[in-house]
A and B are shown apart, each in its own frame.
Chain A
Amino acid sequence: MRLLKTLRNRLRLFSLILVLVAGWVGAAEKNPQSVQVRIRTILAGSKSDEFDPKLKDMERQLKPLKYRSYRSLKDDTQSVPWQGTGSFDIPGGRSLTVAPQEFQNNRVSLKVRLTEGAKPELDTTVGIQNKGNFILGGPPHEGGTLVLSISATAQ
């Protein structure tokens, strides 16, 4: 009798704890306040075999691009609010704006615009895994090619 009563009380206590934990987990999942956007600008070329040690963590992503050299030019991080816009200066008079759209199923949707001066070069909307990245490349720069790694982390 006493054992059953104790068990029942313990289960009640744990149910309460579980509800609180589940609520906390749900809140963390649904209500990120902003997105930390990181833009890494890399100059890829084929004139040397230099591989910038700062890009070590991206080596497996960059090697398939088949350039011989990779040099980090810039590494910017901004905290951008939802529906807000973060603007990043890219070498060569370019600019990249990133606007986080929504967060669903642990994926962040980003509206990305690349411009050269006032001329738009690319408009795209991309959904990436939270804390993941994608690569945008191709614009020529100083005899090489610009490669941008765009990553986002919901906060």
Chain B
Amino acid sequence: MRDCENIRESIGSWLDGELSAAESESVRSHLASCTDCGEAQRRLERMHLALKAALTSQAPQIEFTSFWRGVERRINEKRTWYEDLLDGSRRLFTAPRVAWMVPAVIGLLLVLISMDFVPFRGSRNSFASVESIDAYGRSVALLRQPETRTTVIWLYQDQEGENETAEDPAKSAPTF
């Protein structure tokens, strides 16, 4: 079933001679043995023939002179830089390239994140969080330096012999 689906997708390319020798052989042998796919091939061939007949009968009546004049004019005209840029970006974002680029960019981002290069992952110097603290009766001040985002735990002896946790570290810890 899966084979038939793949082969039917390839019939058009096979008829147009776009497949490699091995692929052509694979399609040809499948078509020889599969009735449904053979029918699909015949339908496509009939459509090709009908199109070819229509084109052959109508082509001599088509006025190509103005068309070729337009082609010649476009070949000879000087292109501006932004037209080149536009064409370049169009080529860059064609489907096959995007198919490669999108996953490649995602992969690159994942690698950068894993290597800690990405700024949004958090600053290395963000404040430490103190979950618990016991200074065994000594006074302790907890300070945060906003400039360097450093957390400082400061142990000190109360000058007046008081035994309390500092509410105002700058006042209670004389060295700050």
* A17 contact set on B, CB distance < 8 A: 103, 107
Provide a sorted-by-A list of 12 A–B residue pairs whose CB atoms are within 8 angstroms: A2-B9, A5-B9, A17-B103, A21-B107, A21-B110, A21-B111, A25-B111, A121-B155, A124-B130, A126-B128, A134-B150, A135-B152
Partner of A129, one of B123, B136, B140, B154: B123
Q: How far is the CA of A44 from the CA of B152 in the complex (A)?
A: 14
Say whether B103 contacts A121, CB under 8 Å.
no
CB of A3 within 8 Å of the partner chain: yes
Given A28-B114, A109-B131, A129-B124, the answer on whether A137 and B153 have CB atoms closer than 8 Å is yes
Partner of B133, one of A10, A28, A122, A139: A122
CB of B116 within 8 Å of the partner chain: yes
* B136 contact set on A, CB distance < 8 A: 119-123
* A119 contact set on B, CB distance < 8 A: 136
Show the binding face of B for A, using Cβ within 8 Å: 6, 9-10, 12-13, 18, 95-96, 99-100, 103-104, 106-107, 110-111, 113-114, 116, 121-126, 128-136, 138, 140, 145, 147-148, 150-156, 173, 175-176
Show the binding face of A for B, using Cβ within 8 Å: 1-7, 10-11, 14-15, 17-18, 21-22, 24-25, 28-29, 44, 60-61, 64-67, 106-107, 109, 114, 119-139, 145
Most B CB atoms within 10 A — which of A65, A132, A139, A145? Answer: A132
Identify whether the interface residues of A are mostly helix, strand, loop, or mixed: mixed
Say whether A3 contacts B152, CB under 8 Å.
no
Say whether A66 contacts B176, CB under 8 Å.
yes
Say whether B175 contacts A127, CB under 8 Å.
no
Q: How far is the CA of A93 from the CA of B112 in the complex (A)?
A: 44
Nearest CB of A to B118, in Å: 11
* A10 contact set on B, CB distance < 8 A: 96, 99-100
* A133 contact set on B, CB distance < 8 A: 128, 150
Say whether B153 contacts A134, CB under 8 Å.
yes
Say whether B147 contacts A60, CB under 8 Å.
yes
Say whether B150 contacts A67, CB under 8 Å.
no
Given A65-B176, A126-B129, the answer on whether A7 and B147 have CB atoms closer than 8 Å is no
Nearest CB of A to B114, in Å: 4
Q: How far is the CA of A60 from the CA of B173 in the complex (A)?
A: 20
Say whether B104 contacts A134, CB under 8 Å.
no
* A145 contact set on B, CB distance < 8 A: 175
7 closest A-B pairs (Cβ-Cβ)?
A: A14-B103, A138-B155, A134-B128, A25-B114, A128-B128, A125-B131, A135-B152
Say whether A127 contacts B148, CB under 8 Å.
no
Given A14-B103, A106-B121, A124-B153, the answer on whether A132 and B128 have CB atoms closer than 8 Å is yes
